[in-house]
Structure 1
Amino acid sequence: MAGVKRIEAILSGSEPFKVIDMEVKNYLPILSDYHRMSPFFMLDHGPPKRFSPISGEGRVDGLHPHRGLETVTVVYEGAITHYDTKGNGGTIHKDEAQWMTAGAGIQHTEFPELPEGGLSEMIQLWVLLPQAYKMTEPKYQPLTRETIKSVPVRDGEVRIIAGNYSGVNGPATSFTPIHLLDVRLEMGGEAELAFPAHFNTGVFVVKGEVEVNSDTTVASGNFILFENAGEDLMLKSLSDRTVLLVLSGQPLQEPIAHRGPFVMNTPEELDKAYQDFWSGKFG
């Protein structure tokens, strides 16, 4: 036995704040430590919100740029529509995700697609691109119910968005080793997980309540950060339905420079990103 991954901290997130029509809480970065959950950089959770019916196509989150990272949106309720300046677009629904590689530079917009009204809940992650791929060509990956594979566990399932679980690969491609798992458990359901000891690993409790390694109980709306030691995790549901987003990835051993929508390696590269954006090179 390699030993269990023990809890380092349980994070309750920031005070809620508005992002266009969504109210979200932020959980990453941790106290401005950009490296602690690398290659995962940002995690925002938009808790359940009910929208009233509207006319037109939806609510618009204004067009904005990115460089040097990937944005990943996971939908738990409702639907999210995406458009970008490379011509990609589409709508993902409940239990689906989208993975946009900003790379060298792109502008995009995404918004709740609920013209008839309804409930919306989502998580957005930023995943850092390694230095060698900061300026890669942008791309877009829609990850639908049909492409996200599921592995049954005791009274539940593990849905693999990226990486691998129990020999099953997720549909998303990434530039560094990453596991992104959507775990669904009924009351008493259990999932056994294992990740390399040095991987940065965390679990966000989306719904319900979970018992971690038979000794710590964590309720919804909390992010569990694990120490970089041990490999094994046991997650047990203590509610009728528990939903968890599990993140584990190989840390990037390189400088991180962040300003606004850009994440690069040096302040000079951030300056260049803004210059390129202002000069119209992001479309």
Structure 2
Amino acid sequence: MSGPVGTADAPPTRADTGHPTAPCVEVGESREATVGRFRVRRALPRRGRRTVGAWCFADHMGPADVTENSGLDIGPHPHIGLQTVTWLTDGQVLHRDSLGSEQVIRPGQLNLMTAGGGVSHAEEATGHYRGTLEGIQLWVALPEATRHGPAAFEHHTELPRTELDGGAGAATVLVGDFGGAASPARYDTPLVGVELDLRAPATVPLRTGFEYALIVLTGAVAVHGQPLRPGRLGYLGEGRDELRVEAREPARAILLGGKPFEEPILMWWNFVGRTREEIDAAHASWAARDDRFGRVDSALPRIPVAAPHWQRGGARPASGGRHSEGSAP
């Protein structure tokens, strides 16, 4: 369920609105997009809000029906400069990548693939699972120190889980540390990702130096009286040491946070880079089928893409600030 980023997600003429240094609640609609044969709700990137910490992409996929032989059906495609973080709430997906990994992902298990300078992967039906599929895939922008490094893959079958105060629910720590529990998953910048299973109003501990956002997957919650339903992202700004979340019905939500990511990034298709020249080189490698992205042992067709729009006379983005440029939707 990874990518691609389109111009509707990251218009080339819009700069990020920045990072409020005070707490806030900015509620924005996600955009519906198609990934493989599934409709997804894309909460990040969006106009005016490209990143939360180093989190730069969030697709909530499903629920949808799959069979043993027909699932996400996303053929081999490349990545640079990011990590993919895959979390399922229902169903199963088969991950294959150019490192030779072949891993079935199940609910409660975390897949994390680090692209570094280049990797490719596919997301397929498992060959045995039939039923409902639902989950979220997240991207993390890699910092300068590691974004040119080697590709890597990790799969975690167990993650730490902690109870929220007063029996209001539980938190599963996907990445980083939260409430005294630390995930074993890799992260390259100060970052946290948590699944919240909410049964009642809850007080959620935060770090004042992080910015945060909340993505509701199921149910309904409110933050400072503002409702958040599935399909919406609530950006919370910085400066909080806790967050009061009112569960108006049993709900499941993803809390994303991190130290504001100050490095300028350029997003196009399935790539996170810094310059057009980097993106051009990655596109050329994929088109030429050279060794940069390796080979994926998949029966699904390899995904092609046209050249970046700037090679075809596309508009140049506004200068300054952090920005993204999407592929054609």
TM (norm. structure 2) is 0.76
Structure 2 counterpart of 1:30, from 42, 46, 66? 46
| Alpha-carbon shift at residue 272 of structure 1 (Å) | 2.2
Corresponding residue number in structure 1 for 2:5:
none
Letter in 2 for 1:234: R
Letter in 2 for 1:80: V
Corresponding residue number in structure 2 for 1:229:
239
Alpha-carbon distance change, 63 to 207 in structure 1, aligned in 2, over 3 angstroms: same
In structure 2, C-alpha distance between the alignment counterparts of 1:244 and 1:220, rounded to whole Å: 9
Corresponding residue number in structure 1 for 2:74:
61
In structure 2, C-alpha distance between the alignment counterparts of 1:57 and 1:19, rounded to whole Å: 14
Structure 2 counterpart of 1:192, from 204, 226, 229? 204
In structure 1, C-alpha distance between the alignment counterparts of 2:70 and 2:62, rounded to whole Å: 22
1:207 paired to 2:203: no
1:44 paired to 2:59: yes
In structure 2, C-alpha distance between the alignment counterparts of 1:44 and 1:226, rounded to whole Å: 19
In structure 2, C-alpha distance between the alignment counterparts of 1:62 and 1:150, rounded to whole Å: 33
Q: Secondary structure at the match of 2:75?
A: coil
| Alpha-carbon shift at residue 226 of structure 1 (Å) | 1.2
In structure 1, C-alpha distance between the alignment counterparts of 2:273 and 2:62, rounded to whole Å: 29
Structure 2 counterpart of 1:5, from 14, 19, 23? 23
Corresponding residue number in structure 1 for 2:169:
156
In structure 1, C-alpha distance between the alignment counterparts of 2:127 and 2:138, rounded to whole Å: 22
Q: What do residues 178-201 of structure 1 show as CA deviations (whole Å, max 9, x unaligned)?
A: 110011012x2414221224x231
User: C-alpha root-mean-square deviation of aligned residues, in Å?
Assistant: 2.1
Structure 2 counterpart of 1:17, from 16, 33, 36? 33
- Conserved in 1, the CA contact under 8 Å of 2:207 and 2:239? no
| Alpha-carbon shift at residue 221 of structure 1 (Å) | 2.4
Q: What do residues 77-127 of structure 1 show as CA deviations (whole Å, max 9, x unaligned)?
A: 101110001111211112222111011101101134374521110111111
Alpha-carbon distance change, 202 to 28 in structure 1, aligned in 2, over 3 angstroms: same
- Conserved in 2, the CA contact under 8 Å of 1:6 and 1:230? no
Q: Percent identity?
A: 26
Q: Select the structure with the greater relative contact order (CA < 8 A; seq sep ≥ 6).
A: 2
Unaligned ranges ≥5, structure 1? none
- 1:159-170 aligned at under 5 Å gives the runs 159-170=172-183
In structure 2, C-alpha distance between the alignment counterparts of 1:210 and 1:237, rounded to whole Å: 4
In structure 2, C-alpha distance between the alignment counterparts of 1:93 and 1:116, rounded to whole Å: 10
Q: Displaced runs of 4+ in structure 1, greater than 4 A?
A: 56-59
Unaligned ranges ≥5, structure 2? 1-20, 295-329
In structure 1, C-alpha distance between the alignment counterparts of 2:264 and 2:246, rounded to whole Å: 37
Q: Secondary structure at the match of 1:275?
A: helix
- 1:1-283 aligned at under 5 Å gives the runs 5-7=23-25, 9-14=26-31, 16-31=32-47, 33-34=49-50, 36-51=51-66, 53-54=67-68, 56=69, 60-113=73-126, 115-144=128-157, 147-153=158-164, 154-186=167-199, 188-197=200-209, 199-213=210-224, 215-239=225-249, 241-277=250-286, 278=288, 279-283=290-294
Alpha-carbon distance change, 232 to 269 in structure 1, aligned in 2, over 3 angstroms: same
Q: Secondary structure at the match of 2:279?
A: helix
In structure 2, C-alpha distance between the alignment counterparts of 1:98 and 1:243, rounded to whole Å: 19
